[in-house]
Amino acid sequence: MNIWLYTISSVVLVSLVALVGIVSVFFSEKKLNSALRLFVSFSVGSLLGDAFIHLIPEAFSHGELTVSFSILAGILTFFALERFIHWHHCHEVGCHEHGKTLPYVILLGDGLHNFIDGIIIGASYLVSIPVGIATTLAVIFHEIPQEIGDFGTLLYAGFSKKKALLWNFISALTAVLGAIMVLLLSSQFEDVTKFLVPFAAGGFIYIATADMIPELHKHKVHKLSETAKQLFFFMLGIAVMYGLLIFE
């Protein structure tokens, strides 16, 4: 019962992050994008930290050769999600690469991504509550810049503020479905976490390295201080994940 309570609470919290896009209305695009780039750096560190400090060591503790293939499956799944659904996260305001004709493609891709996030969070709580909390935090840190960027993209596509928030939140709720599915499956298949935990690690590695780090490289940094800030937040994300080990 504790696992169900923690898991559902976590995915609902993650879903509520979809409403954070409204903050973009209160700040200038330049200032918000500058802050988001630092948050992206932090998110990269937290995703990689969770993958390499929590999920992968837990997966290999079972001594299964299938762990490596599960990690690769996670990477390939998120690659396919981007390629076949033509979906890509926006991590800044004013990201117009999708065009005005594709708002529902964005929402479909995000819905599937959030569904997988729910599966990952549920599988992490099946390992232990501390691992579940660490994974939930990593997902939240990633979702904040993504949701702000997606909100701006939906506005550009012609959505009103209310409509953009509503549909963003609806697509985020698929995380709840993913979490419920994996918890129900766990009652039928005891070894489900042996695949899903390394799968989650692979997904996080892909998102961090193929989706988020390139976002940072797209912007030329002319000041050493900006690079230093990004490196600091990158390492801070890793440090937060490492710090959570004390609860395990």
Taking only the tens place, the pLDDT of each residue in 155-194 is 777 788 888 889 889 999 999 999 999 999 887 877 788 8
pLDDT of amino acid 124: 93
| In-domain check, residue 14 | no
Name residues of the chain where pLDDT drops below 70: 1, 62-63, 65, 85-102, 219-222, 248
Which pLDDT score is estimated for 150?
77
**Burial group, residue 162, by CB count within 10 angstroms (0-12, 13-18, 19+):** exposed
* Domain assignment of residue 236, yes or no: yes
Taken in order 149, 153, 155, 161, the sign of the CA dihedral is negative
Question: Cβ of 160: how many Cβ atoms within 10 Å?
Answer: 10
Give pLDDT, residue 194. 85
**What is each CA distance from 16 to 24, 162, 192, 230, 234, in whole angstroms?**
16, 15, 27, 26, 24
Domain count, the chain: 1
Distance of alpha carbon 98 from alpha carbon 32, whole angstroms: 20
* 22, part of any domain: no
| Residue 100: per-residue pLDDT | 46
Per the structure block, which two tokens stand in for 10?
């976590």
pLDDT of residue 91: 52
pLDDT at 105: 74
Residue 24 in domain:
no
Domain of 35, in residue numbers: 2-6+29-247
The pLDDT of residue 248 is 63
Q: What is the pLDDT of residue 95?
A: 58
Considering the domain boundaries, does residue 18 fall inside one? no
Note whether residue 21 is domain-resident: no
Has this prediction a pTM greater than 0.85? no
